[in-house]
Amino acid sequence: MEIEQLKEQIKAVARARVVAKLAADAKTAARLLWESEHKDLIINAEETDRFRQLAEDNLRLMTLQVYVETGNKTPAPGVAIREVTKLEYDPQVAFLWAQDHRMALKLDTSAFEKIAKASPFNFVKMRGEAQATIASKLPIE
């Protein structure tokens, strides 16, 4: 690989970034223009969605109320009661239980790797790895 080829590729990436930024800016401008021209439509859609949500919340409450009064899990067409099991527990107690039972718990890799870098363990191997980076600002010419 020649340095000149690398320099040409840097220029190509820089130009591609400029073109992509221009396209993204044009898209944003078009979206903002469309939103300003159609603000009544947008407001109407937001208001009708809020109304829908309130209507659904009210229907759920009414369905639960009928269920409590009658015990009927299908009080009317289109609505039903589904019983789900919810668990309540102290997370700290649950964590201690899990440790006692040697359940697979997720390793905090970030914390572990910081400790392992500061005080290496005999079962951890460290190796260097080359990683290419690209500057955020590149010369076009």
**Residue 41 counted as domain residue:** yes
Other Cβ atoms closer than 10 A to 63 = 19
**Residue 28 counted as domain residue:** yes
Percentage of the chain modeled with pLDDT above 70 = 99
Closest CA to 139 of 12, 8, 11, 3: 11
Give the 3-state secondary structure of residue 42.
Answer: helix
What is the per-residue pLDDT for 104? 65
Cα separation, 8 vs 138, in Å, equals 11
How much is the average pLDDT of 68-87?
91
* Partners of 79 in beta bridges: 76
Contact in structure between 14 and 138 (CB atoms under 8 Å): yes
User: How many domains would you assign to the chain?
Assistant: 1
**Residue 43 counted as domain residue:** yes
28-66 pLDDT, tens digit per residue, is: 999 999 999 999 999 999 999 999 999 999 999 999 999
Q: What is the average pLDDT value for the chain, to the nearest integer?
A: 91
What is the per-residue pLDDT for 78? 93
**Residue 118 counted as domain residue:** no
**Residue 64 counted as domain residue:** yes
pTM: 0.60
Domain of 57 in residue numbering reads as: 3-85
Cα separation, 17 vs 4, in Å, equals 20
**Residue 112 counted as domain residue:** no
